[in-house]
């Protein structure tokens, strides 16, 4: 490390330090709740106090289900994902507010599952081309090439941008749940309360260190959606200001002198009413929805698309064929006649991803007159391989997002101590812990109906597409921004800076990233 840099410089990039430094640096904007239930039902906006202080901020957090599952498993047997979520909520609201200069906590703590469901509907519409004339479904203007590849995993996206730019036209244009939630919160709150986006500070709790990279993307700032902006990626106010991982939640609690495992597992007091009633019902549904095991542990992008195809072809079946290992699986929707009408696949882990991108690599034209193209597959020059998948769910981590790099691992000291391991735990113990995380991930209560669908009949995998689309249309109206600018993103080739001179600040960021720091 350069002699110019100090421990304090590096500390500024450590997420838990950033969270506390921001909470303790400024006063918080407070919500004055409507005085009657009628006011809430009529959508009367609760007033914000503290606006006279220009530096005052409104603090809001979003939490992934995989992080809740990791912390539930760390707590021990009998603790559900929902209970772990309540513990996180207590920490971010009451716990953090109990210390610090201003007593600031987070006004709202929301579940990214709701944004995930919106992403599933948007992704299915993109892949199935369900946005033609006469339809009320939305598609990006710059549609991805077939096969469409999942883009919600930032490790995979970063790998593609840096090493295999020829796959970028295949990436889904739909934002990840983290990114979509950030845009939803910043646009809605800034419009409803008439405050600048930089007065809203959004923390995301995620299972993956690479989510910090995603949050720093110029494509995910108000440069894209802001009124006075160009609509193109650029420097601006980030939709997600800070990302911390599941294990960093424990560090954050300890930084305030709190024992996370000692927090109450009962339901906390109700959160303030969100200032828009439609988005309130979307963000805080009446009942937590159960994760379907068939959908896997990474959000269920491919599973939802398969279910959508199946719903459009009554009597069809979804068939699964395991590939060369557990992280490569082929899927097909087959009709009554045995005809395959849709094919998809799941590729998890970089070893498998490398095989996938080789298949997608365009053939090089021969330099010999009349020569045939050559490459990993013999195909027409300039075209991708003849893969017959319509969609591929790609995740960098073997086993999916519950096994993310930011999750609590079996050899973390907190687990070693809590489980009284006599010697350093090995792969078998890690496998057993991951099984507990997966079990917690699927431990939500059974739903009585679709999430916020008010009994809608058009259910796909338990989700009402019409309810999602109506909510998205309402959001665009509230924000006063075209919906495509809110829900879609873009990608670009990243040229390596190896061998180039970089600044001390950039060097600190790189070092912080290697040790799990923030951005």
φ, ψ at 294 (rounded to 5°): -60, -25
Taking Cα atoms as reference points, which of 388, 313, 463, 286 lies closest to residue 472? 463
CA distance 459 to 448: 13
Q: What is the pLDDT of residues 324-355, one digit of tens each?
A: 999 999 999 999 999 999 999 999 999 999 99
CA distance 137 to 466: 9
Phi-psi region of 72 (alpha: psi -120 to 50; beta: other; left: phi over 0): alpha
What pLDDT does residue 368 have? 65
Residues in the chain: 519
The pLDDT of residue 516 is above 80: no
CA distance 45 to 34: 7
Half-sphere exposure of 479 (CA within 13 A, CB side): 26
Q: What is the pLDDT of residues 414-468, one digit of tens each?
A: 999 999 998 889 999 999 999 999 999 998 654 444 444 455 568 999 999 999 9
Taking Cα atoms as reference points, which of 311, 281, 322 lies closest to residue 130? 311
Half-sphere exposure of 434 (CA within 13 A, CB side): 19
> pTM of the entire structure?
0.87
DSSP 60: E
Q: What is the pLDDT of residues 366-412, one digit of tens each?
A: 566 666 665 554 444 444 444 799 999 999 999 999 999 999 999 99
Alpha helices in 42-80 (DSSP H): 65-75
Q: Name the pairing type of β-strands 242-245 and 317-322.
A: unpaired
Q: Which residue has the tokens 């490790």?
A: 155
Token pair, residue 512, equals: 């912080």
What pLDDT does residue 47 have? 83
CA distance 483 to 65: 26
What pLDDT does residue 232 have? 74
Token pair, residue 41, equals: 């039902």
User: Residue 110 in 3-state DSSP?
Assistant: strand
Whether the CB-CB separation of 47 and 280 falls below 8 Å is answered with no
């Amino acid at each position: 490390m350069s002699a110019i840099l100090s421990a304090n410089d590096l500390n500024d990039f450590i997420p838990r330090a950033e969270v506390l430094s921001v909470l303790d640096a400024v006063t918080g904007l407070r919500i004055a709740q409507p005085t009657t239930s009628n006011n809430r039902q009529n959508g009367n906006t609760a007033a914000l106090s503290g606006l006279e202080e220009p530096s005052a901020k409104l603090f809001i957090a979003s939490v992934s289900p995989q992080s809740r599952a990791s912390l539930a498993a760390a707590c021990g047997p009998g603790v559900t994902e929902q209970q772990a979520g309540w513990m996180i909520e207590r920490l971010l609201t009451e716990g953090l507010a109990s210390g610090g200069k201003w007593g600031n906590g987070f006004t709202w703590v929301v579940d990214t599952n709701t944004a995930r469901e919106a992403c599933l509907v948007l992704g299915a519409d993109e892949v199935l081309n369900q946005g033609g004339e006469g339809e009320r479904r939305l598609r990006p203007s710059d549609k991805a090439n077939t096969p469409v590849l999942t883009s919600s995993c930032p490790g995979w996206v970063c790998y593609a941008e840096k090493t295999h730019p020829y796959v970028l036209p295949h990436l889904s244009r739909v934002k990840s749940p983290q990114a979509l939630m950030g845009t939803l919160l910043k646009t809605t709150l800034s419009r409803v309360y008439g405050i600048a986006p930089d007065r809203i500070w959004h923390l995301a709790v995620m299972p993956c260190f690479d989510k910090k990279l995603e949050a720093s993307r110029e494509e995910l700032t108000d440069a894209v959606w802001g009124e006075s902006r160009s609509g193109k990626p650029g420097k601006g106010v980030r939709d997600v200001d800070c990302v911390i991982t599941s294990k960093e939640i424990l560090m954050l609690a300890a930084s305030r002198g709190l024992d996370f495992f000692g927090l109450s597992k009962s339901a906390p007091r109700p959160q303030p009413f969100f200032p828009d009633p439609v988005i309130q019902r979307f963000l805080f549904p009446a009942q937590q929805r159960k994760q379907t095991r068939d959908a896997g542990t990474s959000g269920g992008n491919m599973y939802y698309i398969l279910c959508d195809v199946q719903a459009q072809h009554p009597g069809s079946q979804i068939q699964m064929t395991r590939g060369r290992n557990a992280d490569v699986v082929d899927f097909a929707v087959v009709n009554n006649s045995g005809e395959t009408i849709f094919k998809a696949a799941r590729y998890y882990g970089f070893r498998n991803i490398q095989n996938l991108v080789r298949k997608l690599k365009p053939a090089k034209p021969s330099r010999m007159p009349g020569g045939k193209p050559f490459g990993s597959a013999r195909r027409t020059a300039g075209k991708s391989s003849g893969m017959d998948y319509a969609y591929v769910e790609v995740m960098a981590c073997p086993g999916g997002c519950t096994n993310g790099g930011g999750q609590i691992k079996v050899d973390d000291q907190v687990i070693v101590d809590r489980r009284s391991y006599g010697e350093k735990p090995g792969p078998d113990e890690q496998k057993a812990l991951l099984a507990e995380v997966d079990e917690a991930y699927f431990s939500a209560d059974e739903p009585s109906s679709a999430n916020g669908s008010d009994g809608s009949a058009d259910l796909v995998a338990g989700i009402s597409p019409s309810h999602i689309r109506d909510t998205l249309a309402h959001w665009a109206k509230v924000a006063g921004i075209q919906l495509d600018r809110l829900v879609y993103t873009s990608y670009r080739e990243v040229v390596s800076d190896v061998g180039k001179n970089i600044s001390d600040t950039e060097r600190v960021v790189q070092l912080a990233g290697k040790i799990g720091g923030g951005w």
